Structure formats: structure tokens, C-alpha cells
Structure 1
Amino acid sequence: MKWGTKYGPEYVNRLHAMVRRHLRGDFRFVCLTDDPRGIRPEVQCLPIPPLDLPAGIPERGWTKLATFSADLHGLRGTALFLDLDVVIVAGLDAFFEHPGEFLIIHDYKRPWRVTGNSSVYRFELGAHPEVLEHFRAHFAEVRSAFRNEQSYLSDFMHGKGRLAYWPPGWCRSFKYHSIPAWPSNYWRAPCVPQEARIMIFHGECNPPDALAGRRNRRFRFIRPAGWVAEHWRE
């Protein structure tokens, strides 16, 4: 999904290219967006179903819940949702083969909670419309109880007995698993952890920042992660 101006079309195009390199066989690559300009023709661009949220509320990823529409532009089949700013570094076939009705990344920081990280999740299109129906009918309550979309989504699926997590090594955090611990971050570059298939960028860096050796917090130095250029490209 791409909405607003934070990410340009190059994020969509590079994500498509990474999927093409790491997924065997045919697939359909769909981008739900409010602006298809600059996106490659191999990508099917479709409008984002409106959620009709109140104006001026903080953006907490609620728009992602539109993927659970009962009829998402007539799409059917198994969907693997990928955030725009992930970097795919190894094969994706296993993400479609791993057993489970709904799979998501387990929270990195507080693994004792049910909360997942929704940078990568898999589901059957049209199979869980109650996720969105409940959100629309109880938006004030949901927003009061949950900070963001992934907290609500994880809790809802857990309550239905459908929540499962990816194997821990598959989706690794650039922030927690790639950047060397202080003080070795001053002479060692961020790495790709063993077993990693998708690197998740959340909190501090996006792929171009990691490639340039930038962080958005003072006194937190990182060296350039050269491997990003190898993977994050068309």
C-alpha cells in the first residue's frame, strides 16, 4: 500500500523487483494506492477502499485494515502483504507454504505480548471481513484500546484463535538485529542476520538511510549498510 507523500514510486518498483527475484513461479503484484504515477506497468494499481476516518487523527497505519475488505476489488487467493520499506534478501516461497490461517511477525521489543508487526502478514483475501467490520462499527473503542492497526489486528485475530507467527529468523529487524551493539557500531557495519529472508525497517531508518549510514536520532552512529544496494534495486 502507498498513500500520501512519504514514499515515492521507486519504493513500489523496487519491492516488485525484489519479489520477482525471490519468488518462483507466477504471481500477481498489487499496490493499493492514491497515486499510481511512476509505478511500473507490471504492478496492478488499485484504489484504497475508503475507511472514512475522522479528519486530523494521527496516522497509525489504520489504512492497512482495508486489505480485509469482504470484496477487495474482486481479488481472491492467498495474499502476502509487504510494507513498502522492507528489503527482501532471500527466498519468499516459504511464506506461502508455512501452515497457518493468519501469519504475522511477532513483536520484537515485547515478545511476551500477542502483538505482531504488520510489515509482513499473510491471509486469504475476503476471508476475514469481520476485522474491518468491527473496526468500522467500534472505531472510538478500538482507537482508545489500541495504539495502532497492528495491535488491534493481532488482538482481534488472537481472539478468534487465528493468530500465528512467522519463524523468528525469517523477518529480522534492522534496528534490533542488524546494527552492531555499542561501541562496535563505530567500526562494524550493519549485517544481514543468518536465516533472514526479509529485513524490516521500523522506527529509525529506511533503506536509503541505512545505505548512507544515517539514523534519525542523535548520538546513534551507524556505518553504511552496503548490502542494501545489492538487494534494494530494480
Structure 2
Amino acid sequence: MKWGTRYPALYVNRLWSMIKRHTKRPTRLVCFTDDATEVDAEVDTFPLPSIRIEDDIAFTPWRKLSLWQAPLADLAGDVLFLDLDIVITGDLDAIFDFRPGTFCVCENWTQLGQGIGNTSVFRWHVGKNTHIFDDFEKNGIAIRKKYGIEQVYISDVVDEMAFWPREWCVSFKHTLLPAWPLNFFRTPPLPDNTRIVAFTGKPDPDEAAIGKWPVNAPWKRIYKHVRSTPWIDEHWQ
């Protein structure tokens, strides 16, 4: 899904390039977007799915709930969702073989052991668990107040949830980045078995690659630091 201006078409096109390099089976990329300008012609684009949602969260991860409606464009069966700001570093085919028909998701790296998924990378079955969308359309304000974050809501009400093997999907910031103060001296590693690296919040892949961590307060530079990370550019292209 691509909306607004934070992520240009370049992110979609690089995602498609990475997908093609890391799949052997016939594969397509579908982009739901409000602006398909400069998106690779090989990518199938559709308008953002409709959803009844409050204006102040209309372009936040809450909008991902629109994917749980059916029908959904021309999609069917198990579909893999990938955030635009991820870097693919390994085989994706195995992700489709893992627990078919089940909602599969990253275990949220900051809430391990609490049964909460992180929806940077998830696979869902179109047509199953449509109550996630339907209930939000009916009671969105109450659901938002109760759960705060869409992935907490999904994790609580989905019929069945399985986490990807931890080594498959990792967080750049929470898994790979050395703890302070070592982040000033060590480059984040890329473990051999990693398939997808998620970039939650900042830095984005292009920023981490050159060792840039944008902060909104100068004092945060005391601990928010990343060394230039060459393996990002090797894969994010």
C-alpha cells in the first residue's frame, strides 16, 4: 500500500525488483495506491480499498484493515503483505509454504511473548476473518480506543495466528542494530538466515545505508546513531 508522499514510486519499484530476485514461482505485485505515477508497469495498481475511518488515522497503519474486506480487487487465497520500507535479503517462496491458510505475521519485536504481531510483513487469506474489517467499520472509534494500534487489534480478534520463524523476518532497529553505545562503533550485521529486514519508524533503508538517522531533537543524537550499512544497498535495489 502506498499513500501520501513519504514513500515515492522508487520504493514500489525496488520492492518489485527484490521480489523478482527472491522468488522462483510465478509472482505478481499488487500496489493499492492513491498515486500510481512512475510505478513500474509490471506492477498491478489499484485504488486504495475503501474503508470508513476517522480522518486523523486515515493515512496510518489503521488503513491496512481495509485489506481484510472481501472481495478485494481481484485477489484470492493466501496473499503476502510487505511494507514499502522493507529490504528482502532471502528466499520468499518458503513464506508461502509456511502454515498455508493461516494468518502469519512477525512477532512484534518490542513485545516478545505477548502474542502480538507486527504487520510489517504478514500473510492473510482473502475472504477469511472479514469480521476484522466489518467490525472496524461498525465500531471503529471504540476499537481504536480499546487497542490503540491496528496490529494489536488484529492479533486479538483473528481466528488463528502464527509467527514467522524469528530468523526469517527481523527488525533493523530492534534486532540488528547494536545496543548503545556499540551502535557508534559496530555496523549492523545481516544474519545468514534472514529473509526480510523491516525498518519500523526511522531510519529508512536509504538513510541507514549511509549512516543517517534523522532526529527531531538534537539531544537524541546522543543515542540515536547508525553506522553506514553497505549490505542495505546490495539488496535494496
The reply to whether TM is greater than 0.5 is yes
> Is the CA contact 2:105–2:162 (under 8 Å) kept in the aligned structure 1?
yes
Aligned residues: 230
Residues of 2 paired with 1:223 and 1:142: CA distance? 40
Cα deviation per residue 1:172-199 (whole Å; 9 max; x = unaligned)?
Answer: 1100222122333222211112321100
**How far off its partner does 1:116 sit?**
0.7
Specify the alignment match of 1:176 in structure 2.
174
Residues of 1 paired with 2:2 and 2:127: CA distance? 20
Specify the alignment match of 1:211 in structure 2.
209
Residues of 1 paired with 2:13 and 2:58: CA distance? 27
> Which of the residues 209, 228, 233 maps onto 2:232?
228
Residues of 1 paired with 2:29 and 2:122: CA distance? 15
**How far off its partner does 1:43 sit?**
0.2
Task: Kindly report which structure 2 residues correspond to 1:101-140, keeping only aligned pairs within 5 A, or say none.
Answer: 101-140=102-141
Residues of 2 paired with 1:221 and 1:70: CA distance? 43
> Is the CA contact 1:24–1:93 (under 8 Å) kept in the aligned structure 2?
yes
**How far off its partner does 1:54 sit?**
2.4
Cα deviation per residue 1:51-81 (whole Å; 9 max; x = unaligned)?
Answer: 1322234754111111111101132122000
Specify the alignment match of 2:218 in structure 1.
none
Specify the alignment match of 1:78 in structure 2.
78
Question: Which amino acid is the alignment partner of residue 132 of structure 2?
Answer: V
Question: Which amino acid is the alignment partner of residue 232 of structure 2?
Answer: V
Specify the alignment match of 1:202 in structure 2.
200
TM value normalised by structure 2 = 0.92
Specify the alignment match of 1:191 in structure 2.
189
Residues of 2 paired with 1:193 and 1:58: CA distance? 36
Deviates more, 1:27-36 or 1:216-225: 216-225
Task: Kindly report which structure 2 residues correspond to 1:133-148, keeping only aligned pairs within 5 A, or say none.
Answer: 133-148=134-149
Residues of 2 paired with 1:216 and 1:8: CA distance? 18
Secondary structure of 1:64 counterpart: helix
Structure 2: gaps (5+ residues): 216-220
Residues of 1 paired with 2:56 and 2:67: CA distance? 22
**How far off its partner does 1:50 sit?**
1.7
TM value normalised by structure 1 = 0.93
Secondary structure of 1:180 counterpart: coil
Specify the alignment match of 1:152 in structure 2.
153
Secondary structure of 2:121 counterpart: strand
